[in-house]
Structure 1
Amino acid sequence: MYKALGKQRLIYRSRIASYVKAGLIDQAIQVFDEMSQSDCRMFSVDYNRFLGVLIKNRRFELSEYYYDSMNPRGFSLNSFTYSRFISGLCEVKNFELIFRLFDDMDRLGIVPDIWAFNIYMNLLCGVNLVDEALKVLRIMREEGRDPDVVSYTIIISGLFRVKRHDEAVQMWKIMIKEGINPDSKACRALVLGLCNIGKVDLAYELTVGDMRGKAEKLIDKMERSGIQPDSYSYNELLKGLCRAKRVDNAYVLLVNKMEAKGFVDVVSYNTIIKALCKAGRSKRAYKLLGEMGRKGIAPDMVTFTILIDAFLKEGNSILAKGLLDQMTKMSLFPSLALGLIKEKKLSLACGVWDQMMEKGFTLDSYSSETLINAINLKEVPEVTTAVFPVFLAYVSLIVGNAGMSPLTIVLMNGMCNGVKFRLLGHRICPPLA
């Protein structure tokens, strides 16, 4: 009889496994119910496997039901299944059940895996319950689960999020003291947090070294310890230095540190070029454009927009025109014009559009509609309603050539009734004969 029941148990397990493999979870649940109501003896492993399937498929209500029915029968989950259960519940923020699971584990002497602790702390920090997350960090140590770099990164980010900056820095120092090497994500959390509050020097010192060259030993020590900020962290440091009006320090960082590590890209140069232009050093910024070319880093639309805007504000139309010519060769003209419109720099956008038309560029439907919408929201010198017939002729021509949508036609009629026409006119299509 016992052999027969053992054989039947194997059949049940095989059927459940087949249904799960085929993705037929409801059928697997039915077979499990049959098994639990039969004369076959069940083991904790059956509940652990089954709840693992339910958790994986996000059947959390059913998971709770079977978990509750399991305990009176003397079964319990193992550490791995508890950890999976907690991690899944963190996704749906079911704090009530999470608390109950932790209480049950504490009563049974079971400790979750470190990744489950980390996921739970991340949830707590995400809803600004940082003090609770710190308690979990303490419990981890007490339960013999030493925090890893992920644990500390979560806590550091959470402390910065609630503006407890000093505690975040202290947590970083504790991590280093315990011999845990920060990875790129840990460096990023620290750099972002400190740069956002203007503490660029401290961010640099803790992750790279002292920017004034007074702590080369610190740099060597950190590199030996494996502290290696990634490209994103370095670019955030650049932004922080530029916001602090220390653009020369930012350039030194770019050349001496980032370049050697292969972290310099167009974003890095755009950050410094923008800061130089803002400081009235547009000629120095222009030289960096040449430097980018020599280093094989292609400028993008953002690069040209920054420089052209700066030179036009200074009244240096010669250099601005030269940059526009350079953009023509790179086919960046339409992107620049659209970018300027989105930044609400309408006069400059119209100037670029004029240059486009002189060089034979045509407007597609999207570009035309963007310009029309922008002008419709801007105050434009009024013209008389005598232009209305001509304006309708423009509409007919545009609809025929550019596929303008009916909504745009309504907007254009609204402008004409408004009457916003003078600025739009020749930029949409050539004058009619």
Structure 2
Amino acid sequence: MARRGALLLAARGISSSPCLARRLKQTESEIVRMFHPPVRQCEELIATVGPRYTHSVRVLDERFIRILKIFKWGPDAEKALEVLMLRVDHWLVREVLKTDVGVNVKMQFFRWAAKRRNYEHDTSTYMALIRCLDIVEQYGEMWKMIQEMVRNPICVVTPTELSEVIRMLGNAKMISKAIAIFYQIKARKCQPTAQAYNSMIILLMHEGQYEKVHELYNTIIKALFESKSHASEVPSWFERMKGSGISPSSFTYSILIDGFCKTNRTEKAMMLLEEMDEKGFPPCPAAYCSLIDALGKAKRYDLACELFQELKENCGTSSARVYAVMIKHLGKAGRLDDAINMFEEMNQLGCTPDVYAYNALMSGLARKGMLDEALTTMRRMQEHGCIPDINSYNIILNGLAKTGGPHRAMEMLSNMKQSSIRPDAVSYNTVLGALSHAAMFEEAAKLMKEMNTLGFEYDLITYSSILEAIGNVDHE
């Protein structure tokens, strides 16, 4: 009777390994002989471990799987590892987690492996255990493992793994946890796949978090533009978004218009601006600003001015940034009087000029050779509490280099070194160009040496012209 009870307990796999060893009257030496390798050594005992997810010639010894099924995880299984010469590495952990032993045995083995010397779990081993826990619906333990993996500094979660984690948490109805982990992993510079975004959007819609939904197809659309995707991909996402019942927000339209402008699809951007108006959205200064800038770069100044007037009529005023864009392009077009009038109009309407507006006006003045007026504008800027930036100084420096000669440019560069606004590569290259045009090659060589010390690169055109000029002097 006692023997039958013992066999029943053994069959159910609930006895501890020492107890089972005593009942079967197996000594440690017998266990060692049982798992002693055959005379012909297996290839897996000497194979090296391949990189993550790479197929290997190693094969997990079936005898080790049998002992896991008989003894579960414990001292006997540890002894078998030694006898079979199985080294504990990522490959071994993944292979054990693939076997059909109980998930509790897998978890015990996983925890034991983590304590081994010179071993640390990586993303592949964590994901292997997470999949096991998902299959048996141990969602609490699964969530703990996901959190532990994300917290581990050596674990880099790939976009594909993020998508899989989101899917598993979604199936487990752990919506809020899926949302939290998505943003947590994304913050670690993981670029989610389209599938991960789709999964998240579905989850967010179920939760009624529509603001987050908008934030995600905006992120996708912006990423597509930045990655220079195929021209049809962005409109495809936009139409898919609308087809899913997600109404684009004003910010979505703004991102699309800005993206199309930056990729030279101005006509498409214009159509979207009209669509915004048809949908009843209030005029978006950011969208207008992108379009006006694109039209200015294309030298379509009349249409840019028309859009600017439209924005003022609809909003009653315009932002300082839109004014700055208009002033910049009017100055480039040589319409300096119009640029100055627009700058004065800003002040009259109570729209305080920012650094971009001041720089735009100074650039136009310097381009026309009106350097004294540009310097006066810079002083006026400071008097009104607007702090110049490096671009402000480079605009003046460029004007000095062209009209005041290299000596005045070098003097200003020297003053900049002593000020809170330190010169950058543009500053140095501007002065280098002035020295080159003045055939001041000795001074140019000294400046180039200084640039090299500071880690600034030479402007290739200026550098070539200096070499050519030196060659001409040598020839003469």
TM-score by length of 2: 0.49
Deviation per CA, 1:356-401: give whole Å up to 9, x if none.
9xxxxxx99979xx9996775224267xxxxxxxxxxxxxxxxxxx
Structure with greater Cα Rg: 2
1:185: Cα distance to partner?
Answer: 3.5
Q: 2:157 aligns with which of 14, 25, 49?
A: 25
Compared CA separation, residues 202 and 105, structure 1 to 2 (3 A): same
How many residues are treated as equivalent by the alignment?
305
Compared CA separation, residues 300 and 135, structure 1 to 2 (3 A): same
Residue correspondence of structure 1 range 376-391 to structure 2 within 5 A: 377-380=471-474
Compared CA separation, residues 243 and 81, structure 1 to 2 (3 A): closer
Compared CA separation, residues 43 and 201, structure 1 to 2 (3 A): farther
Deviation per CA, 1:180-220: give whole Å up to 9, x if none.
764453333222211111112222222334xxxxxxxx733
2:253 is equivalent to residue 122 of structure 1: no
Q: Using the alignment, how far apart are the partners of 1:104 and 1:365 within structure 2? A: 51
Q: Using the alignment, how far apart are the partners of 1:337 and 1:86 within structure 2? A: 37
1:124: Cα distance to partner?
Answer: 0.7
SS in 2 for 1:239: helix
For 1:82, the equivalent position in structure 2 comes to 217
Residue correspondence of structure 1 range 339-354 to structure 2 within 5 A: 339=431, 343-345=435-437, 347-350=439-442
2:308 is equivalent to residue 172 of structure 1: yes
Q: What are the ranges of 5 or more consecutive residues in structure 1 without an aligned counterpart?
A: 210-217, 290-297, 305-334, 357-362, 383-433
Contact 1:340–1:348 at 8 Å: present in 2 too? Answer: no
1:299: Cα distance to partner?
Answer: 4.2
Q: Using the alignment, how far apart are the partners of 2:274 and 2:429 within structure 1? A: 55
2:332 is equivalent to residue 200 of structure 1: no
Q: Using the alignment, how far apart are the partners of 2:368 and 2:387 within structure 1? A: 22
Compared CA separation, residues 142 and 170, structure 1 to 2 (3 A): same
Compared CA separation, residues 15 and 97, structure 1 to 2 (3 A): farther
Q: 1:236 aligns with which of 349, 353, 360?
A: 360
1:58: Cα distance to partner?
Answer: 5.3
Q: Using the alignment, how far apart are the partners of 1:32 and 1:336 within structure 2? A: 51
Deviation per CA, 1:245-288: give whole Å up to 9, x if none.
5556546545556644455775565466567648xxx9xx99xx
SS in 2 for 1:146: coil
Contact 1:51–1:66 at 8 Å: present in 2 too? Answer: no
2:347 is equivalent to residue 219 of structure 1: yes
Q: RMSD across aligned C-alpha pairs, in angstroms?
A: 5.1
1:147: Cα distance to partner?
Answer: 4.2
Compared CA separation, residues 81 and 253, structure 1 to 2 (3 A): closer
Compared CA separation, residues 204 and 41, structure 1 to 2 (3 A): same
Q: Using the alignment, how far apart are the partners of 2:329 and 2:430 within structure 1? A: 33
Deviates more, 1:258-267 or 1:189-198: 258-267
Contact 2:441–2:470 at 8 Å: present in 1 too? Answer: no
Compared CA separation, residues 303 and 49, structure 1 to 2 (3 A): closer
Q: Using the alignment, how far apart are the partners of 2:451 and 2:321 within structure 1? A: 43
Q: Using the alignment, how far apart are the partners of 2:216 and 2:309 within structure 1? A: 34
For 2:274, the equivalent position in structure 1 comes to 138
Q: Which amino acid aligns with 1:194?
A: L
Q: Which amino acid aligns with 1:120?
A: L
Q: What are the ranges of 5 or more consecutive residues in structure 2 without an aligned counterpart?
A: 1-134, 417-426, 454-462
Residue correspondence of structure 1 range 11-410 to structure 2 within 5 A: 12-13=142-143, 15-22=145-152, 24-26=156-158, 28-32=162-166, 34=168, 40=171, 42=173, 57=189, 59=191, 62-64=193-195, 67=198, 78-94=213-229, 95-179=231-315, 182-209=318-345, 219-220=347-348, 222-223=349-350, 227-246=351-370, 249-250=373-374, 253-254=377-378, 259-262=383-386, 267=394, 270=397, 273=400, 277=404, 299-301=411-413, 339=431, 343-345=435-437, 347-350=439-442, 377-380=471-474
Percent identity between the two aligned chains: 17
1:162: Cα distance to partner?
Answer: 1.9
Contact 2:367–2:399 at 8 Å: present in 1 too? Answer: no
Q: Using the alignment, how far apart are the partners of 1:239 and 1:69 within structure 2? A: 47
Deviates more, 1:163-172 or 1:340-349: 340-349
Q: Using the alignment, how far apart are the partners of 1:41 and 1:139 within structure 2? A: 40
> Of the two structures, which has the highest relative contact order with CA contacts closer than 8 Å and spacing of 6 or more?
1
Q: Using the alignment, how far apart are the partners of 1:92 and 1:366 within structure 2? A: 33
Q: Using the alignment, how far apart are the partners of 2:245 and 2:308 within structure 1? A: 31
Contact 1:183–1:228 at 8 Å: present in 2 too? Answer: no
1:25: Cα distance to partner?
Answer: 2.1
Q: Using the alignment, how far apart are the partners of 1:66 and 1:337 within structure 2? A: 45
For 1:430, the equivalent position in structure 2 comes to none
Q: Using the alignment, how far apart are the partners of 2:147 and 2:252 within structure 1? A: 26
Q: Which amino acid aligns with 2:224?
A: L
Q: Using the alignment, how far apart are the partners of 2:451 and 2:292 within structure 1? A: 48
1:128: Cα distance to partner?
Answer: 0.9
SS in 1 for 2:299: coil
1:125: Cα distance to partner?
Answer: 0.7
Q: Using the alignment, how far apart are the partners of 2:433 and 2:311 within structure 1? A: 48
Q: Which amino acid aligns with 1:344?
A: S
